[in-house]
Amino acid sequence: MVKFAEAEARRFRSIFVCRRCKTKMRAPNIKIIQHKIKCRRCSGKVFRAVKKK
Ligand SMILES: [Zn+2]
């Protein structure tokens, strides 16, 4: 789990996109997983990594 998070962070450079308003946010991967990051625009807590199809 930890290794996966690390690899993911490296791959996507810890940049995430809000699923609600599509704002890009840079945050530590582990915080995204733990839902400790709030979107600054819509306060949504659901993020996805960039470049995900
Ligand atoms: Zn948002």
| Structural domain count, the chain | 1
The CA 5 to ligand 1 mean position distance, Å, reads 22
Instruction: Tell me the HSE value of 30 on the side-chain side, using a 13 A CA sphere.
Output: 4
The CA 1 to ligand 1 mean position distance, Å, reads 26
What average pLDDT is seen over the chain?
82
pLDDT (0 to 100) of residue 46 = 93
The CA 44 to ligand 1 mean position distance, Å, reads 5
Note down the domain range covering 31.
2-49
Q: Are 24 and 17 in contact (CB under 8 A)?
A: yes
Nearest to 17 by CA among 48, 53, 51: 48
- Which of the four pLDDT bands, split at 50, 70 and 90, describes residue 10? low
The CA 15 to ligand 1 mean position distance, Å, reads 13
The CA 18 to ligand 1 mean position distance, Å, reads 5
Of the two residues 19 and 12, the one the predictor is more confident about is: 19
Q: Residue 31 and residue 26: Cα distance in Å, rounded?
A: 11
